[in-house]
Each structure stands twice: as C-alpha cells, then as structure tokens.
Amino acid sequence: MAGRRKVHTAAFKAQVALAALKGDRTVNELAGYYGVHPTLIHGWKKRLLT
C-alpha cells in the first residue's frame, strides 16, 4: 500500500528556497536538514526566481 504524500506549506517552501539561494549550505545539506529531496528544493528555488 502506498503512503500519503507530504504536503508542504508555501511558507516552508519559501524558507527552504531562500536558504538555497543564500548559498551558505549546499542543496544536499539543506535537503538532509529539512528532510526533503534535493529535486524539490531545486524546483522551489526555480519557482521563487520566476
């Protein structure tokens, strides 16, 4: 049986994307810290910039 997908709030996405843009940590480090896949962070960052 498949698990439920986690729903992230817009505020959480913005927080993670801004942290990625800041550049203090790598995307992989942020992914481990926040418990999300690096691909998600790249997508959130891209959406924030458009």
**In the chain, what are the domain boundaries?**
10-49
For the entire predicted model, the pTM comes to 0.87
Whether pLDDT at 1 is above 90? no
Q: Give tens-digit pLDDT for 5-36.
A: 889 999 999 999 999 999 999 999 999 999 99
Half-sphere exposure of 12 (CA within 13 A, CB side): 11
Q: In this predicted structure, what is the pLDDT of residue 3?
A: 86
Q: In this predicted structure, what is the pLDDT of residue 39?
A: 98
CB 30 within 8 A of CB 19: yes
